[in-house]
Structure 1
Amino acid sequence: MAEIQPIRGWRYNAELSRQIDAYVSPLFDVVSVKQREALYRNPLNSIHLSVPRGQDPAGEACRRLREWQEQGILRQDALPGIYVYYQYFRLPGNSHEYCRKGFMAHIRAYDWAENVVLRHENTLPAAVNDRAELLARTEFQTSATHGLYRDEEFELEQYMDEAMLNPLYQTEEDYQGARDVLAVIQDAGVIRRFQQVLAARQVILADGHHRYEGSLAYRKARQAAAGAAYSGQETWNFHLMYLTNAAADDLRILPTHRLLLELPGGLTNAELLSRLAPYFTVLPLDDPYDLPERIAGKPWAFGLYLGEGQVYKIRLRPEVHELLDWDTTPEVKALDLTVLHYFVLEKALGVVGPEQQRQWSGIAYVRNFPECLTRVDRGEARAAFITNEVTMEEVERVCHSGAVMPPKSTFFYPKTIGGFLFSSIREAEANTSFYAAFRV
């Protein structure tokens, strides 16, 4: 199954690492415009490598990377290792501190058809090409994608906990309020045990589909250029991934609500409710802030907020579910979000089919529940559909069925951060006995 390799990580030098909060950055696809501008003002922030700007962004990132390496701003560790990465966080309204435990390593960039790394969402070609070009120019990976393996025995956690007794550094608080801690395992016997455990498992890609597919595209291009000389051991066959145990209680998936910026055809609120009635029971409520609690744990149930005191709990009539005729697996058809996209977007609003819905500009995906209500009240949106979170069990069932979920189905929280650890796929850095010792 999954082949992983230790890496000689690149990190900010010891002096800069003492203020690591100043140099880390959000992932390229979640950073807001306001966050970006603040981060760009720091000439040493990692965003200059992960989301470069200029006429030739990838070229600018390459130039800056070489400069940082030559000046010692970034330094490479002497020995290869497995990098342990813990994230401590709390959820809104909950005083409990969670700790998501995982580790960063190189994983072979498997094609989807090999059924080793499994995806649960589709990607946008433009974003994949952007990531592939940046990787081709820099041969450097600035942030790990997030993968999930399942180990009910929790064997690797004992080694990770031990490494965390001597952390390399930690953030005080990242952009999302989490505390990130990094440590390293360089014991050869322990590293081989990590390899053995992952070799028996598939990996579900939780986050970072565009970056992962960028690695796939780059690998295919290099493999084609290598021709008969291709060995499969070249460093560009590998991809930086943060791997966490899907059996852990501290793996959190937050809901992503659907905000309708417009109603097609100039529908009124009354007409929308009339179109929903054949498919859903519609229950008026008094307080929109009760919606998450009223739908919690109930399959095919959603909150609907139309503003001006119009608050509803809607739930699919069980007998109409068999009308859902999209060409997908039963596991996908059972999802709340599939029900919402089919019976609300397609049947009630006429936005037909998953592809048209992906491209429709009339929908926004919002994680913050109060923001949904506020934007409707301000007239920035016509309706908010409040959803439950997807469960880890649902993610696994869909991935093993070979299908993908509706867009923006999962939001694994917290996100990994950029700039905490870098890895190189340059051939010159891997032709050492260190790496040869761990090749499968």
Structure 2
Amino acid sequence: MADIQPLRGWRYNPALSAQLEEVTSPLFDVVSARQRAALYRQPLNSIHLSVPQAEDGLAPAPAAARRWAAWQAEGVLRQDELPGIYVYYQYFRLPGETRERCRKGFMCHIRATPWAEGQVLRHENTLPAAVSDRAELLASLRLQTSATHGLYRDDSFALEALMDEAMQDPLCQTEEDYQGARDVLAVVQDVAAIRQFQAVLAAQPVILADGHHRYEASVAYRQARQLALGAATGHEPWHYHLMYLTNAASDDLRILPTHRLLRALPAGWTSETLLARLAEYFVVRPQAEAQDLPELLAGKPGAFGLYLPGGAAYKLRLRPELLDQVSWPMPAAVRALDLTRLHYFVFERVIGVLGPRQRAWPGVAYVRGLAEALRQVDQGEAAAAFLTQEVTMAEVEAVCHSGAVMPPKSTFFYPKVLGGLLFSSVADEETAADQSVFDSVFWPAPG
């Protein structure tokens, strides 16, 4: 079902590839304001293309397009001579673990099809403004500046040997990126090997883990080019989207919890009011240490942590009899999620913000780390922190195949893909004469 193809990637020239930490960057939706300010001071950093700022009277997108043209002319970025599938390994450690993990995957082109066609499945909704922003940048640059993250499932791990072999001769690597991971990039250019990658993906849809806004922007750009040109072969680069694909069967595919911060209590409420209202739906048990909450919650359905000003910590356990009293118009896979229950019983029933409004509600914020959640409450930046457990890969797959979506910010796949390792052009010029050999190999004439 998923149509993937190799590409002739654009990469930093060898001199710059030797110092990747100075030119790579976090993705646009995870880079903090402080990180962004520091990276803008580095003139060759990829953030100038992925999250551009206005310069010399130019709006961000045109400014990025001017810089992209200059980087091509100056040899800052160079295009590989041959098409390939780019193998990408990320080595990392989780808190509390001593062993080093390795998430194995590869970057390629995947046909940018609408959600309704079922070739790429989503698990969250998008914000139209964010899609428009990404689409404007893509139309201006005609360059995909970072890969989104997709998931396929192969319990036989048929592709890992091919990827391991490619890793014997890496193209470039970081010592340690901004999140503490070590990133290594290699390439597979053997046609027979690439056919094996295509065969595995052709048998199944892909689940989009990260990058819903960028993917929708690629779909919109493809539709716009199709309307503008009319006739097309279907093989033009603008039909495709740059994606990093990892095996959902791997134990090194990690999803970390994302905690919810209540920015302020309703008017007239105190912490005691909140606790009393929560007690209508949850068993509320005080705990001595907030740091112990993750262990107390682990593996317990309907269990959450609560942290309030003054260091007050609680374990919340949803009263099981309540589930039979609620009729939610959603698939069973979504009803079963702890986060669905948290958003319904806490934010809708207790706080009074109806489900449809929660998506754009400024009263809630999302943070990944326990320490950051506690810090914001301690410093008065939030009135309460609701601590959650991680979503499982099985839950993600079940929701995606149901056709529904999860509550906002349900997943945090770790580590994040690093921006700036590989760029993909979707310009019309990519289908010029020197592309004919590529086409004849990967799209041979019928019969």
TM bracket (short chain): over 0.9
Task: Specify the alignment match of 1:299 in structure 2.
Answer: 301
Look up the equivalent residue of 2:87 and give its one-letter code. Answer: V
Query: Is 1:158–2:161 an aligned residue pair?
Result: yes
Task: Specify the alignment match of 2:440 in structure 1.
Answer: 436
Q: CA deviation at 1:324?
A: 3.5
Query: Is the contact made by 1:307 and 1:373 (CA closer than 8 Å) also made in structure 2?
Result: no
Look up the equivalent residue of 2:442 and give its one-letter code. Answer: F
Query: Is the contact made by 1:5 and 1:439 (CA closer than 8 Å) also made in structure 2?
Result: no
Look up the equivalent residue of 1:271 and give its one-letter code. Answer: T
Distance 2:73 2:328 in 1: 55
Query: Is 1:285–2:258 an aligned residue pair?
Result: no
Task: Specify the alignment match of 1:180 in structure 2.
Answer: 183
Q: CA deviation at 1:309?
A: 4.1
Look up the equivalent residue of 1:176 and give its one-letter code. Answer: Q
Task: Specify the alignment match of 2:152 in structure 1.
Answer: 149
Secondary structure, counterpart of 1:418 in structure 2: coil
Task: Specify the alignment match of 1:367 in structure 2.
Answer: 368
Q: Indicate the percent of aligned positions where both proteins have the same amino acid.
A: 67
Cα distance per residue 1:94-131 (max 9 Å; x no partner): 11111000000000001101111000000111110111
Task: Specify the alignment match of 2:35 in structure 1.
Answer: 35
Distance 1:361 1:423 in 2: 35
TM-score normalised per structure 1: 0.98
Task: Specify the alignment match of 1:122 in structure 2.
Answer: 125
Secondary structure, counterpart of 1:266 in structure 2: coil
Task: Specify the alignment match of 2:113 in structure 1.
Answer: 110
Look up the equivalent residue of 2:24 and give its one-letter code. Answer: V
Displaced runs of 4+ in structure 1, greater than 4 A? Answer: none
Query: Is the contact made by 2:311 and 2:378 (CA closer than 8 Å) also made in structure 1?
Result: no
Query: Is the contact made by 2:6 and 2:83 (CA closer than 8 Å) also made in structure 1?
Result: yes
Out of 204, 222, 234, the residue aligned to residue 207 of structure 2 is 204
Look up the equivalent residue of 2:335 and give its one-letter code. Answer: K
Distance 1:363 1:266 in 2: 18
Alignment of 1:128-143 (within 5 A): 128-143=131-146
Task: Specify the alignment match of 2:26 in structure 1.
Answer: 26
Query: Is the contact made by 1:261 and 1:363 (CA closer than 8 Å) also made in structure 2?
Result: yes
Look up the equivalent residue of 2:117 and give its one-letter code. Answer: E
Secondary structure, counterpart of 1:58 in structure 2: helix
Q: CA deviation at 1:434?
A: 1.4
Secondary structure, counterpart of 1:259 in structure 2: strand
Look up the equivalent residue of 1:370 and give its one-letter code. Answer: A
Out of 97, 102, 107, the residue aligned to residue 99 of structure 1 is 102
Query: Is the contact made by 1:286 and 1:309 (CA closer than 8 Å) also made in structure 2?
Result: no
Task: Specify the alignment match of 1:190 in structure 2.
Answer: 193
Distance 1:28 1:112 in 2: 22
Secondary structure, counterpart of 2:66 in structure 1: helix
Where do 5+ consecutive residues of structure 1 fail to align? none
Task: Specify the alignment match of 1:316 in structure 2.
Answer: 318
Task: Specify the alignment match of 2:172 in structure 1.
Answer: 169
Task: Specify the alignment match of 1:251 in structure 2.
Answer: 253
Secondary structure, counterpart of 1:297 in structure 2: coil
Query: Is the contact made by 2:236 and 2:430 (CA closer than 8 Å) also made in structure 1?
Result: no
Query: Is 1:404–2:405 an aligned residue pair?
Result: yes
Distance 2:282 2:109 in 1: 47
- Range moving further from structure 2, 25-34 or 319-328: 319-328
Paired residues, number: 438
Out of 219, 222, 238, the residue aligned to residue 219 of structure 1 is 222
Distance 2:337 2:405 in 1: 11
Query: Is 1:266–2:268 an aligned residue pair?
Result: yes
Cα distance per residue 1:277-335 (max 9 Å; x no partner): 22111111111111101011101100111132422111111110133334221111110
Look up the equivalent residue of 1:44 and give its one-letter code. Answer: L
Query: Is the contact made by 1:324 and 1:342 (CA closer than 8 Å) also made in structure 2?
Result: no
Distance 2:7 2:386 in 1: 44
CA RMSD between the two structures: 1.1
Distance 2:16 2:180 in 1: 21
Look up the equivalent residue of 1:382 and give its one-letter code. Answer: A
Cα distance per residue 1:252-289 (max 9 Å; x no partner): 00000011111123311121111112211111111111
Secondary structure, counterpart of 2:359 in structure 1: helix
- Cα 1:183–1:255 shift into 2, 3 Å: same
Distance 2:70 2:143 in 1: 14
- Range moving further from structure 2, 78-87 or 261-270: 261-270
Look up the equivalent residue of 2:333 and give its one-letter code. Answer: E
Look up the equivalent residue of 1:435 and give its one-letter code. Answer: D
Task: Specify the alignment match of 1:78 in structure 2.
Answer: 81
